[in-house]
Amino acid sequence: MKVRKVAVYGIIVSFILINTGLALSQTTTATTGAGEKAEPETEWLWGEVVSVDPMTSEIKVKTLDYKNDTEIEVLVNVDDKTTYENIKSAAEIKPKDSLSIDYIVTAEGKNLAKNISLEKAEVSDMPISAGDTAPTTVVGATIPSDTEVTPQGKVEDQKPASISTATPDESPKADSSKY
């Protein structure tokens, strides 16, 4: 019986010592191999530029606060380590530009940009020019592909026989007497 009590007490003491060691090991701060503190987590925002101050290297961006579903203005600082995409420097950024910014929050509470990407407007792959031909549907009427559409939207040499008179809500009905 005494052996059983000693074994139970030994297990309990071992359990307490193991849990204490685990609890104490979680209170240390994250450091790099050189003993320096790890860099803060990178955050991201996308928004429209409100203002750019080249003297203080600050960019004010209007963005959506996803937690509150409201628009907010965020001040982001730029330094010589900031990288850029689609632009060469912060001097090219203008109000109303759309930016995607990767940044960190410094110990002083400032938002420091790590990467700034200027969003470019998409350009259509198919420019319309004089002489282009393509099938076009306009309010239920189909214009044949051999019809020329001018850049002003005028249709030339349209063949009346190919225009359907059906409205978008109704489909053309076949005449059963023709079959």
**Beta-carbon-side half-sphere exposure of residue 45 (alpha carbons within 13 Å):** 24
Domains of the chain in sequence order: 43-118 (2.40.50.320), 132-158 (no CATH)
pTM (2 d.p.): 0.50
Q: How far is CA 127 from CA 103, 131, 150, in A?
A: 38, 12, 12
Q: What is the DSSP letter of 92?
A: G
pLDDT of 20 strictly over 90: no
The Cα–Cα gap between 34 and 41 comes to 19
- The three-class DSSP label of residue 16 is helix
| Residue 157, both tokens | 């040499």
Please write the tens of the pLDDT for every residue from 108-155: 999 999 999 999 877 655 555 555 555 544 455 555 555 555 555 555
The Cα–Cα gap between 141 and 148 comes to 15
**Going by C-beta distance under 8 Å and a sequence separation of 6 or more, which residues neighbour residue 119?**
46, 86, 97, 98, 99, 100
pLDDT the model gives residue 127? 56
